[in-house]
Amino acid sequence: MRYEAVKNLRKGMLLGRDLYDDKYKLFLREGAKLSNGQIEGIRRQGFAGVYILDVYSNDIVVDPIVADTEYIAAARAVTEYTNKAMASVGGADALSTEGDYRKVIEPVLETLRGKQVLLMENIDMKPFARYEFCHAAMVMILSIAIGVKLKMADGQLIDLGSAALLHDIGTAFLPEDILNRPGRLTDEEFDLVKGHVRKGYDYMVNNLSLSEAASAGAMQHHENYDGTGYPDGLRRKNISLYGRIIAVADVYDALVSKRAFRAAMYPMQAVEIVQQQSDRKFDPDVVKALESVVAPFPPGTTVRLKTGEACIVKKNYADDLWRPQLWQYDERGKSGQIIDLHQDKAYENTRIIKMLDI
């Protein structure tokens, strides 16, 4: 299968992976032959792109980092927690017990622990109207994956997952028009937005059964490694490990997601932006862990080489993620050659310069 931007979808294309709508219900099933109405429905749901099946990419396998059921369960949980928080302004009973969090997080941890190669090789497909909840679910998944790479103990990973899942619950107390505004905020409005981390911390401490370390870690996801972040301007290792991990996962997933003010970026672009902020905004050790977890060129995506060829990514090498195996794309539909940037010495000076929406 291959990834195709929504703008390029055509009637008769075969869908390569299940799609879920903004109510977390199955919207279109893998193998569906797309009609014009279904393509319009995909646009309305706000997907940046989808996977399709065709004869030229039928041997390309794209596996999500966790099962759809685990991802959807996490997004549903965040929706429930956030709705309860919004309804509880002025005080509320405890929302959840530790066991409830574990029911969402433990299956994800078990899946990630069980992978022979822990690598995110798929483009995440979020329905636009549920960005914030699917984002929180993916931040949890990525945070745990980074924690596994950093050799954290299972108990810590459960704690980290809880903090990551609820890292933005304080946004439930922000005015919706400010939270989703595509334009520039005033200084006063931005100060209000920055207050969401403290509001979230207070809510978690007073209403939820998270540990103090998890609550503090969630609050610190906007602290910067160089001390320029908020709410407390903490620096380097004074920021908790949970906070440093969630900060990286949060920014990476926000970059690869469609937002009201910009299009979704491809993993290559997002990884490069995170790398540029290493040792300034982000802990370099956490950045390195992310680099080993996220494939900058997921299988099924289309790239352009420095030499000009357009290629579809066939396979990644975990020890050399920036030099995958490619299939040269022939726009006339004819079969092209295999280009292996990792193994074939003939291409040792060839590199990928960008990803394409062709």
CATH number (domain holding residue 41): 3.90.105.10
Whether 164 and 263 share a structural domain: yes
- Shared domain check, 157 and 16: no
**Closest Cα partner for 229 from 237, 238, 220?**
220
In this structure, the answer to whether residues 288 and 306 fall within a common structural domain is no
- Residue 60 in any domain: the answer is no
29 and 84 in a single domain? The answer is: no
State pLDDT tens for residues 108-158: 999 999 999 999 999 999 998 899 999 999 999 999 999 999 999 999 999
pTM for the model: 0.94
Residue 57's pLDDT is 87
Q: Identify the domain containing residue 201 by its residue range.
A: 68-293
Domain assignment present for 231: yes
Same-domain pairing of 42 and 23: yes
With the C-alpha atoms ordered 250, 121, 46, 270, is the resulting torsion angle positive or negative?
A: positive
pLDDT at 91: 52
Q: Indicate if 80 and 189 belong to the same structural domain.
A: yes
CATH at 204 = 1.10.3210.10
Average pLDDT, the chain: 91
Statement to judge: residues 25 and 135 lie in one domain:
no
Query: Are 25 and 89 found together in one domain?
Result: no
Supply φ then ψ for residue 331, to 5 degrees: -65, -15
Provide the pLDDT for residue 329: 75
**Residues 43 and 140 placed together within one structural domain of the fold:** no
pLDDT digits (tens, 9 = 90+) for 66-75: 999 999 999 9
> Is 263 in the same domain as 320?
no
Q: Is residue 115 part of a domain?
A: yes
User: Is 75 within 8 Å of 140 (Cβ atoms)?
Assistant: no
Strand order, beta sheet including 310-315: 338-340, 325-328, 310-315, 302-305, 352-356
Residue 62 placed within a domain:
no
SS3 131: helix
Q: Is residue 59 part of a domain?
A: no
- What's at 39, amino acid-wise? I
**What band does 97 get if pLDDT is binned at 50, 70 and 90?**
very low
Alpha carbons within 13 angstroms on the beta-carbon side of residue 15 total 20
Residues 333, 220: Cα–Cα separation, whole Å: 50
Domain count within the chain: 3
Report residue 333's pLDDT band, with 50, 70 and 90 as the boundaries. low
Torsion sign over Cα 81, 21, 73, 118 = negative
Local structure of 101: helix, strand or coil: helix
CA 130 to chain centre: 13
CA 86, CA 57: separation in Å to the nearest integer? 45
Residues 337 and 243 placed together within one structural domain of the fold: no
Task: Tell me the Cα Rg of the chain.
Answer: 21
Do 287 and 331 reside in the same domain of the chain?
no
